[in-house]
């Protein structure tokens, strides 16, 4: 498979945002509507809707209707990726926090 730089960068942009990643992590547990996702992730409802639009456009989440509600679920191919990332973060937490290169970039963006 050939890597397309633009596709990879868009994928990582969508996946790399903390709010979008927490929405995916929440949806990896169960399907939810916007209000439930906002409550679970502590992200404002309007922001959740904005992030869900990106995640749906990129194919990370699916949307279905339950009466008037839209119910969001994680794409079945994405779930093992999110589960694996969460396991990796948990297992390698000390290594991740000790990474001088990533930390330097992260801290410099916060200042």
Asked if the model's pLDDT at residue 110 lies above 70, the reply is no
User: What's the CA gap between 85 and 101, in Å, rounded?
Assistant: 19
Give the predicted TM-score (pTM) of the model: 0.87
Contact status, residue 16 vs residue 82, Cβ threshold 8 Å: no
- The answer to which of 13-27, 52-66, 69-83, 89-103 has the lowest mean pLDDT is 89-103
Q: Mind listing the pLDDT tens digit for each residue in 30-67?
A: 999 999 999 999 999 999 999 999 999 999 999 999 99
What is the average pLDDT across 71-82? 97
Structure tokens at 99: 């990474």
Helix axes 18-29, 45-57, angle to 10 degrees: 80
């Amino acid at each position: 498979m050939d890597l397309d730089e633009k596709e990879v960068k868009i994928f990582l942009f969508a996946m790399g945002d903390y709010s979008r990643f927490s929405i995916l992590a929440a949806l990896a547990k169960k399907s939810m509507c916007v209000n439930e996702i906002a409550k679970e992730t502590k992200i404002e409802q309007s922001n959740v809707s904005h992030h869900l639009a990106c995640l749906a456009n990129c194919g990370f989440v699916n949307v279905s209707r339950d009466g008037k509600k839209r119910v969001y679920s994680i794409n079945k191919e994405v779930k093992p990726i999110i589960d694996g990332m969460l396991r990796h973060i948990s297992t390698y937490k000390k290594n991740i926090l000790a990474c001088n290169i990533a930390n330097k970039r992260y801290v410099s963006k916060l200042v």
